[in-house]
Amino acid sequence: MQDSHSVTARFTQAIVEAAQRQGVSLPEPLRESLMQHSRVPMAQQDALWALFAEAAADPLAALRVGTDLQAGHLDIVGMLLLSCDTLGDGLEVLTEYAPIIGDNARFDIVTDAQGVVLRYTPDYEVCRELRVEAALGCVISLARWMTNGRFRPREVLFMHAPRGEVAAYEALLGCPVRFGQPANGVRMDASELDCSLIQAGTQLHAHLRALADDMLASLQQGSISARVQQLIREHPRWGKERIGEQLGMSGRHLNRKLAAEAISFKGLRETLLHDMAVQALRSGQSASVVSEKLGFSDENAFARAFRRWSGQTPAQFARTGASPAQPPNAGS
């Protein structure tokens, strides 16, 4: 399968520069290839992070990379954030336009009994823990800078285990940090959303939003697989015909469109269901609940599919908490 995901060159360059400040040296051919186009293919971004992981001696190096990032590194999304009136407005912008920065992860805002959580859900697998730490480190750092230091997060949440001393994480992020959580994110009091930003500009905001809308539409145009992925995640029970109907085409036409991207509907759906199942099991949901959510006829059918995907039963995976070695191929 040819991965159609990509990241802006500006953001990638910022990662390269931050990595170099952490003492990581990148081969010149890779450094040049990362800057050849306005967007960097995900395979090259994966290679960058793989080299970073191999070379960085500091277990918190990725977190430090994230806290080094500035609004200008986020291209037009960073400019749009700076033109917002309040932090709440900025977080809404982030949830909507983050795909411009990189279209293989998403933010959303959820409310629970303990406050508001800006949740971060990655679709990538390579160096997932490092990249999640960089992303949330960037969020914390920018939120503090844009509010002139008034932002006070309650805690940062990571799904994975700590890579270093928890106290070191908390010293760097300036708040409690919890690991082994059901989701990655930043929890804050609802009142934090009303924090005013230091460079708000309503007129500029409207202009930048129009530009961002055009960029988002351009990014999504022609990538049927990205739209199919979104629909499958929102409606995992839907089949090819129902997805095609939502996109204004027959199931057969949808197959042809996906084939042009070297992807099959069956392979893409199984890849996503596998990823959704893994995340749900990691969060502590039972196999029966996951089976129902993902649209399997019964728990046995889900168990057979999960074993085919990962070589483990859901129960075995839940006990070990390990990632399956090889996800199903969306091109098959």
pLDDT value, residue 243: 92
Kindly indicate the confidence band of residue 104, based on its pLDDT and cuts at 50, 70 and 90: confident
pLDDT value, residue 2: 43
Kindly indicate the confidence band of residue 1, based on its pLDDT and cuts at 50, 70 and 90: very low
Greater model confidence, 78 or 178: 178
pLDDT value, residue 296: 93
Mean pLDDT of the chain: 86
In the predicted structure, residue 122 carries a pLDDT above the cut 90 = yes
Greater model confidence, 323 or 5: 5
Per-residue pLDDT of 154-205, as tens digits, reads 999 999 999 999 999 999 999 999 999 999 999 999 999 999 998 756 667 8
Least confident of 27-31, 41-45, 126-130, 318-322: 318-322
Greater model confidence, 73 or 87: 87
Per-domain boundaries in the chain: 60-194, 224-320
For the entire predicted model, the pTM comes to 0.67
Amino acid identity of residue 307, one-letter, is R
pLDDT value, residue 192: 97
In the predicted structure, residue 48 carries a pLDDT above the cut 50 = yes
Nearest to 204 by CA among 76, 72, 80: 80
What number is the average pLDDT over the span 111-123? 92
Kindly indicate the confidence band of residue 329, based on its pLDDT and cuts at 50, 70 and 90: low
In the predicted structure, residue 43 carries a pLDDT above the cut 70 = yes
State how far the Cα of 332 lies from the Cα of 263, in Å rounded to an integer.
7
Per-residue pLDDT of 82-92, as tens digits, reads 899 999 999 99
pLDDT value, residue 324: 43
Domain 224-320 coded CATH 3.40.50.12280: no
pLDDT value, residue 325: 42
Q: Percent of the chain at pLDDT above 70?
A: 90
pLDDT value, residue 323: 44
In the predicted structure, residue 303 carries a pLDDT above the cut 80 = yes
In the predicted structure, residue 24 carries a pLDDT above the cut 80 = no
Greater model confidence, 214 or 87: 87
State how far the Cα of 266 lies from the Cα of 260, in Å rounded to an integer.
15
Per-residue pLDDT of 264-298, as tens digits, reads 898 888 888 988 888 888 888 999 999 999 999 99
